[in-house]
Structure 1
Amino acid sequence: MFVFCIESSHSRGMGHLYRSLTLAEELRRRGRDIHFLVNDHASTLNVLQSRGFESTIYDPSAPDGSWEAAFTEKVQQLEVWINDRLDTAFAHAEAVMSTGARLVTFDDRGDGAELADINIGALVFDNTAQLKGREVRTGIEYMILNPEIERYRRARTRLGSILVTLGGADTHGVTVRVARWLRNKPLKLTIVTGPAFQHREELDAILSEPSLAHIEHLDGVPSMAWEMSRHELAITGGGLTPFEAAASGLPSIVIANELFEIPVGRALEELGFSRFAGHHRSLDLGKLSVDLPIDVMSRTALSRTNLDGYSRIANLLESLVQ
């Protein structure tokens, strides 16, 4: 069995969940048994159930090393434990390894990462040499992106429509600030909010103005890959979303929702298919200018990204148990 241990919530965001789901679905397709360990968060549990995955709730505040054995005793043939929650503590890693399972972590700077069989740092762009693990893999070729995007890859040549999508939670309500800034722009605009978004009243107050009929608000979408295909520019957070946008040929303006997203935003700008507008607390609204070389950014995005990361990582995980 392959176990995914994640944290997903309004305050934490839901990026870890969706990244894990893409990898989990590939492993399930290969015949692997999958189980999720997750904190008690209704939206996350609903998503897991809708995707057909079994899950067990754990308490992230419990002392590391104190709860893992109780779970593993109930699981038959635990093969690989996959942590996607950042900063693995040594006591936790030690408890997992004591079961005989192989440990894989993502973007992990915690003390416990040194015990991991593999530490995959696709979203780490600063001080990568300091990442610990028996084996460390870095680079955007290990980015886990939605394979559905392959159906919608296309080059953009000019700006026609903007997509605003700042995560399943948008903890800090950055969507509201972006909507307020864009409301006077004569542009076609679609705002997508996710299942853990808690700033709906503020957003509705802005969008209720009669003059803002050109702004469409979608409370969740069945396919973000398809939604991205309808637009020529995206305004996103600094997680996986701008990379998924790039893989579809969609340039982006990136706002760091968290401090650890700042190096990601800078790296995205250096890659040539995004512009970084800064951390949300010191947001440079001038960077939200839509006067961008959309055609150049789109071609760059298509040439520098691919969708093989999830398969590449699944191969690594399976190699641990062969």
Structure 2
Amino acid sequence: MDVQGHEKRQSYRMNVVFRADASLRIGSGHVMRCLTLAEELRRQGHSCEFVCRKHAGHLGEFIASRDFTCHLLANPEEPAAKPAQSYNAGYSDWLGVDWETDAEQTLAAISPRQVDWLVSDHYALDSRWEKRLATVARRLMVIDDLADRDHECDLLLDQNLGTQDSDYNHRVPARCSKLIGPRYALLRPEFPALREGALERRAKPSIKRILISLGGVDPDNVTAEVMRALTHSSLPVDTELDIVLGAAAPHLEEVRALAEELPLQATVSVSVSDMAERMCRADISVGAAGSTSWERCCLGLPAIMVILAENQRAIGNALAASGSAVLLDQDAITDQLGGILDELVRSDERLQRLADNAKTICDGLGTSRLVSEMVRISKS
């Protein structure tokens, strides 16, 4: 190792604060991808902390268990929170309060310190909030998927396939550096580390083990719909179902009970820390068209993607068009899922094509690329 270069990197330290929420409605994806970035920043010697609202299903304790400070803002039902009224239409109630209240509470959590980077990953926040927080942050970064509102930021990440740099031309300042596409997807280091072995395994396609992961919360219990639909397929009884949910999933016990009744070999795991290994062992995945799409692509895992929300449709359509996944609407699960799996079981060639196309989408190194850009901008 170049010791002098290592010491030089360690001597430059950034203080980074993340503003992201999880809840039974929002899900866990925003916080989880911010945690991925935070852990890579910490690995490179930088300090990170979180500001999250105390929604039902928040991940404050989980963040703390990863040894990050988490400042929990008041729950909307508590006196400190005003009624929601004047913020981004469409996702406004995801915040729980008006943007002005959120800005003031976030400022109070951070002040009187100045931070090098404030990272916002929240569909209900826009340039108004960002301008207010600029008083305590030297640089602002936005993680977005929608390109539907203005931002006042120095760096913008949209990791989604199909998004174009031009989608943000009139949404961000001219100075803003834009990182667009799955090349910058926020994946934990175990995914690129396991990529080579996973791709070798795909050389002999078959369906013996299916990973079912439809979000940590799955408030509509789509997991159970998928499990029941599989009983209408011709999968052999020794087919393994690896079902993953978060501890906050409201239908967890129902899923566990259903797993006991299925004619297939079903196991239910909660809040797993080995998702990369599970994806490596799986032959196909039934999952949501969200951030885990890039994890599957990195490991060449063929996927049947279920659209659970309209904000996932663009990702799903782009991956389906690339030949990396099969797309399925939630209301078509019962009628179509079994038939799709039966077709893939009969066609090793199609299963192989899905894997080959998926692996070209994402190499898993986006997190380190993003940190390098944050350091470059911070030093400039």
Distance 1:294 1:30 in 2: 38
What TM-score do the two structures reach when normalised by structure 2? 0.78
Aligned to 1:313: 370
Residue range with higher mean Cα deviation, 247-256 or 124-133:
124-133
Kindly state the Cα deviation for residue 200 of structure 1 after the two structures are TM-superposed. Answer: 2.2
The 3 A distance-change label for structure 1 pair 263 and 139 is: same
1:13 to 11, 27, 38: 27
Query: 1:63 and 2:98 equivalent?
Result: yes
Residue range with higher mean Cα deviation, 304-313 or 123-132:
123-132
Aligned to 1:85: 122
- What are the within-5 Å matches in structure 2 for residues 251-266 of structure 1? 251-266=302-317
Distance 2:188 2:335 in 1: 29
Aligned to 1:180: 228
Aligned to 2:351: 294
1:169 to 195, 199, 217: 217
The 3 A distance-change label for structure 1 pair 231 and 282 is: closer
Distance 2:164 2:298 in 1: 25
Aligned to 2:185: 143
The 3 A distance-change label for structure 1 pair 282 and 53 is: same
**Does the CA-based 8 Å contact 1:164-1:236 persist in structure 2?**
yes
**Does the CA-based 8 Å contact 2:240-2:266 persist in structure 1?**
yes
1:303 to 352, 356, 360: 360
Which consecutive unaligned segments of at least 5 residues does structure 1 have?
Answer: none
- What are the within-5 Å matches in structure 2 for residues 112-123 of structure 1? 112-113=150-151, 115-123=152-160
Which secondary structure state, in structure 2, belongs to the residue aligned with residue 119 of structure 1?
Answer: strand
- What are the within-5 Å matches in structure 2 for residues 22-61 of structure 1? 22-41=36-55, 44-59=59-74, 60-61=95-96
Kindly state the Cα deviation for residue 206 of structure 1 after the two structures are TM-superposed. Answer: 2.4
Distance 2:364 2:134 in 1: 31
Which consecutive unaligned segments of at least 5 residues does structure 2 have?
Answer: 1-14, 75-94, 345-349
The 3 A distance-change label for structure 1 pair 6 and 43 is: closer
Distance 2:163 2:69 in 1: 35
Which secondary structure state, in structure 1, belongs to the residue aligned with residue 115 of structure 2?
Answer: coil
Kindly state the Cα deviation for residue 273 of structure 1 after the two structures are TM-superposed. Answer: 1.6
**Does the CA-based 8 Å contact 1:27-1:314 persist in structure 2?**
yes
Residue range with higher mean Cα deviation, 132-141 or 162-171:
132-141
Aligned to 2:82: none
Residue range with higher mean Cα deviation, 285-294 or 163-172:
285-294
Which amino acid is 1:133 matched to? V
The 3 A distance-change label for structure 1 pair 204 and 99 is: closer
**Number of aligned residue pairs:** 318
Aligned to 2:301: 250
Distance 2:165 2:377 in 1: 23
Aligned-residue RMSD, C-alpha? 2.2
**Does the CA-based 8 Å contact 1:86-1:109 persist in structure 2?**
no
**Does the CA-based 8 Å contact 1:247-1:306 persist in structure 2?**
yes
1:53-112 CA-to-partner distances (Å, cap 9, x unmatched) read 0010124433323413322324x2311110011242332111112334311111154544
**Does the CA-based 8 Å contact 1:277-1:284 persist in structure 2?**
no
State the percentage of identical aligned residues: 25
Aligned to 2:249: 197
**Does the CA-based 8 Å contact 1:166-1:237 persist in structure 2?**
yes
Which secondary structure state, in structure 2, belongs to the residue aligned with residue 65 of structure 1?
Answer: helix
The 3 A distance-change label for structure 1 pair 281 and 93 is: farther
Kindly state the Cα deviation for residue 320 of structure 1 after the two structures are TM-superposed. Answer: 2.5
Query: 1:130 and 2:180 equivalent?
Result: no
**Does the CA-based 8 Å contact 1:93-1:112 persist in structure 2?**
no
The 3 A distance-change label for structure 1 pair 111 and 122 is: same
